[in-house]
Structure 1
Amino acid sequence: MPTEFLPDVPPIESADPKSVRWLDDYRPQLRISEVGKLAAIGDGIAWVEGLPSAAMDEILRFGDGSEALVFHLGSKRIGAILLSQKEGLFAGLSAHLTGRRLDIGVGDGFLGRVVDPLGRPLDGAPAPMSIRRRRLEAASPPITARDFVERPLLSGNKMVDTMIPIGKGQRQLIIGDAGTGKSSLAVDTIIAQKNRNVLCVYVLISQKRSAVVATIETLRQAGVLDITCIVVAEATTTPGLKFLAPFAGCALAEEWMGAGRDVLVVYDDLTTHARAYRELSLLLRRPPGREAYPGDIFYLHSRLLERSTCLSARYGGGSMTALPIVETEQGEISAYIPTNLISITDGQIYLDPALYARGFLPAIDITRSVSRIGGKAQVPAIKAEAGRMKLDFLQFLELEVFTRFGSRLEASVEAKIKRGRLLREFLKQDRLAPLSPEQQMAWLVAYNEGFLDHLVGTALQSSLAELLRWALAGGPGLAAPREDWRDAVSGLLREKGHEPPA
Structure 2
Amino acid sequence: MSNDVTRTGQDPQTVLDFLLNAPSPTPHLSEIGSVAEVGDGIAIVAGLEQALSDELLQFSSGVQGIVLDLEPGRLGVVLLGSSDRITIGESVMRTHKVVSTKVGEALLGRVVNALGAPCDDKGPIHAQIVHPVESEAPQILDRSAISRPLETGIKVIDAAVPIGLGQRQLIIGDRQTGKTSLAVDTILNQKNTDVICIYCAIGQRGDAVAKVIGAINDGGMSKRTIVLTAGDEDAAGLAYVAPYAALTMAEYFADQARDVLVILDDLTHHARSYRELSLLLRRPPGREAFPGDIFYIHARLLERAGQFTGGGSITVLPVVETQAENLSAYIPTNLISITDGQIYLSPRLVRKNQFPAVDLGVSVSRVGGKAQTKAFRSVAGNLRVTLSQFEELEDFARFGTRLDDATRARLTRGAAVRAALRQAERDPMPAVQQLAVLVAAMEGQFDGLSETQTEGVMGEIRQAAVRELHDLSRRIKENAPLTEKDKSQMIALGRAARANTGGENGTES
Fold agreement, TM-score > 0.5: yes
Paired residues of 2:166 and 2:313 also in contact (CA < 8 A): yes
Shift of 1:492: 3.7
Paired residues of 2:81 and 2:235 also in contact (CA < 8 A): no
Q: Which residue of 1 aligns with 2:487?
A: 486
Shift of 1:69: 1.4
- Call closer, same or farther: CA 1:442–1:434 in 2, change over 3 Å: same
- Call closer, same or farther: CA 1:474–1:98 in 2, change over 3 Å: farther
The count of aligned residue pairs is: 484
Corresponding position: 1:384 with 2:378? yes
Q: Which residue of 1 aligns with 2:251?
A: 254
Q: Calculate percent identity across the aligned residue pairs.
A: 44
Paired residues of 2:39 and 2:83 also in contact (CA < 8 A): no
Q: Structure 1 counterpart of 2:423, which letter? A: Q
Q: Which residue of 2 aligns with 1:55?
A: 52
- Call closer, same or farther: CA 1:25–1:323 in 2, change over 3 Å: closer
Shift of 1:143: 0.8
Q: Which residue of 1 aligns with 2:328?
A: 334
Paired residues of 1:64 and 1:86 also in contact (CA < 8 A): no
Shift of 1:25: 7.7
- Call closer, same or farther: CA 1:213–1:25 in 2, change over 3 Å: closer
1:451-499: CA deviations, max 9, x gaps? 4436443232211111112323551324275233234334445655628
- Call closer, same or farther: CA 1:177–1:85 in 2, change over 3 Å: closer
In structure 1, what is the Cα distance between the partners aligned to 2:468 and 2:129? 42
Paired residues of 2:299 and 2:338 also in contact (CA < 8 A): yes
In structure 2, what is the Cα distance between the partners aligned to 1:125 and 1:46? 33
In structure 2, what is the Cα distance between the partners aligned to 1:197 and 1:108? 14
Corresponding position: 1:197 with 2:194? yes
- Call closer, same or farther: CA 1:379–1:19 in 2, change over 3 Å: farther
In structure 2, what is the Cα distance between the partners aligned to 1:429 and 1:286? 46
Q: Which residue of 1 aligns with 2:507?
A: none
Q: Which residue of 2 aligns with 1:239?
A: 236
- Call closer, same or farther: CA 1:99–1:496 in 2, change over 3 Å: closer
In structure 2, what is the Cα distance between the partners aligned to 1:31 and 1:402? 77
In structure 2, what is the Cα distance between the partners aligned to 1:348 and 1:108? 31
Structure 2 counterpart SS, 1:207:
coil
Shifted more, 491-500 versus 219-228: the winner is: 491-500
Shifted more, 460-469 versus 483-492: the winner is: 483-492
Q: Which residue of 2 aligns with 1:270?
A: 267
Q: Which residue of 2 aligns with 1:295?
A: 292
Structure 2 counterpart SS, 1:192:
helix
- Call closer, same or farther: CA 1:168–1:426 in 2, change over 3 Å: same
TM-score, length of structure 1 as denominator length: 0.91
Specify which of 394, 402, 405 is matched with residue 396 of structure 2.
Answer: 402
In structure 2, what is the Cα distance between the partners aligned to 1:207 and 1:75? 37
Structure 2 counterpart SS, 1:194:
helix
Structure 2 counterpart SS, 1:360:
coil
Shift of 1:184: 0.8
Structure 2 counterpart SS, 1:498:
helix
Specify which of 416, 421, 442 is matched with residue 415 of structure 2.
Answer: 421
Shift of 1:275: 0.5
- Call closer, same or farther: CA 1:207–1:417 in 2, change over 3 Å: same
Corresponding position: 1:65 with 2:62? yes
Structure 2 counterpart SS, 1:171:
coil
Unaligned runs of 5+ in 1: 1-12
In structure 2, what is the Cα distance between the partners aligned to 1:433 and 1:341? 29
Paired residues of 1:67 and 1:85 also in contact (CA < 8 A): no
TM-score, length of structure 2 as denominator length: 0.90
Shift of 1:411: 1.7
Shift of 1:73: 0.9
Q: Which residue of 1 aligns with 2:4?
A: none
Specify which of 147, 156, 159 is matched with residue 162 of structure 1.
Answer: 159
Q: Which residue of 1 aligns with 2:472?
A: 477
Shift of 1:84: 4.0
Structure 1 counterpart SS, 2:257:
coil
Q: Structure 2 counterpart of 1:404, which letter? A: R
Note the aligned Cα RMSD (angstroms): 2.5
Q: Structure 2 counterpart of 1:48, which letter? A: V
Corresponding position: 1:393 with 2:387? yes
Q: Structure 2 counterpart of 1:484, which letter? A: K
In structure 2, what is the Cα distance between the partners aligned to 1:29 and 1:438? 68
In structure 1, what is the Cα distance between the partners aligned to 2:142 and 2:468? 39
Shift of 1:24: 7.1
Shift of 1:83: 2.2
1:228-270: CA deviations, max 9, x gaps? 1011111111111111111111111111111111111011111
Alignment of 1:14-413 (within 5 A): 21-23=16-18, 32-34=28-30, 35-84=32-81, 89-312=86-309, 316-413=310-407
Q: Which residue of 2 aligns with 1:3?
A: none
Paired residues of 1:200 and 1:263 also in contact (CA < 8 A): yes
Q: Structure 2 counterpart of 1:151, which letter? A: R
Q: Which residue of 2 aligns with 1:498?
A: 499
Q: Structure 2 counterpart of 1:164, which letter? A: V
In structure 2, what is the Cα distance between the partners aligned to 1:88 and 1:192? 43
Structure 1 counterpart SS, 2:191:
coil
Unaligned runs of 5+ in 2: 1-8, 505-509
Shift of 1:130: 1.9
Paired residues of 1:40 and 1:47 also in contact (CA < 8 A): yes
- Call closer, same or farther: CA 1:68–1:29 in 2, change over 3 Å: closer
Paired residues of 2:173 and 2:325 also in contact (CA < 8 A): yes
In structure 1, what is the Cα distance between the partners aligned to 2:495 and 2:74? 79
In structure 1, what is the Cα distance between the partners aligned to 2:396 and 2:145? 42
Q: Which residue of 1 aligns with 2:5?
A: none
Paired residues of 2:114 and 2:245 also in contact (CA < 8 A): yes
Shift of 1:29: 11
